[in-house]
């Protein structure tokens, strides 16, 4: 079965996509989605592999986008991992120090790996979040384009 990403269900690329969508989603939105999800399906017994913990990551950049790499600075990140009784592992990495947000990402990652609950969650959670995020990017892009200034040089004779 394939879905919106064009990849086979549960593929590596598809998992990267939903993890990205979840990490960028507001925590309150994920809380609401979790409450709706729990009314429809019963979660399996879960155990912590890594409780939420915050730390720093070094952010690297390239001069001019193609030049030599350099350390741009540090960014705070929170991560966690949960495992269900079948051995599946859900992970959550989010920028900042919000432990609950990392927990929610890990839980949804775990639920999305289940072949039975994936189609419904892709349709009710990931799809709408992806659409909202795309619309927000489009709006920001339009606002930035509206302020663009083009400079022209006229040659004097």
pLDDT score for 7: 47
pLDDT score for 25: 97
pLDDT score for 149: 81
Which helix (H) or strand (E) segment holds residue 30: the answer is helix 27-40
pLDDT score for 55: 96
Count of structural domains, the chain: 1
Q: Is residue 41 part of a domain?
A: yes
Q: Is residue 152 part of a domain?
A: no
pLDDT score for 157: 67
Q: Is residue 133 part of a domain?
A: no
**Tens digit of pLDDT per residue, the chain (157 long)?**
334 444 445 589 999 999 999 999 999 999 999 999 888 777 778 999 999 999 999 999 998 888 899 999 999 999 999 999 999 999 999 999 999 999 999 999 999 999 988 999 999 999 999 999 999 999 999 998 888 887 777 777 6
Distance CA 9, CA 153 (A): 53
Domain residues for the domain of 114 are: 12-126
Count of C-beta atoms within a 10 Å radius of residue 74 = 11
- Give phi and psi for 51, each to the nearest 5: -65, 160
Q: Are 99 and 52 in contact (CB under 8 A)?
A: yes
Parallel/antiparallel/unpaired status of strands 46-62 and 89-95: unpaired
Contacts of 12 (CB under 8 A, 6+ apart): none
Q: Is residue 136 part of a domain?
A: no
Distance CA 78, CA 81 (A): 11
pTM above the 0.85 mark? no
Distance CA 29, CA 77 (A): 20
Q: Are 52 and 102 in contact (CB under 8 A)?
A: yes
Q: Is residue 96 part of a domain?
A: yes
């Amino acid at each position: 079965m394939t879905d919106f990403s064009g990849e086979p269900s549960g593929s590596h690329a598809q998992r990267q996509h939903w993890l990205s969508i979840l990490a960028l989603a507001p925590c309150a939105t994920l809380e609401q989605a979790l409450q709706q999800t729990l009314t429809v399906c019963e979660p399996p017994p879960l155990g912590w592999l890594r409780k939420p913990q915050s730390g720093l990551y070094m952010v690297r950049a390239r001069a001019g986008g193609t030049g030599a790499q350099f350390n741009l600075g540090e960014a705070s990140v929170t991560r966690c991992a949960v495992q269900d009784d079948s051995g599946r592992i859900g992970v959550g990495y989010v920028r900042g120090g919000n432990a609950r947000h990392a927990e929610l990402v890990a839980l949804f990652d775990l639920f999305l790996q289940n072949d039975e609950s994936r189609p419904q969650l892709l349709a009710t959670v990931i799809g709408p979040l992806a659409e909202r995020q795309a619309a927000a990017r489009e709006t920001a892009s339009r606002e930035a384009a509206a302020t663009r200034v083009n400079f022209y040089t006229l040659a004097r004779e």
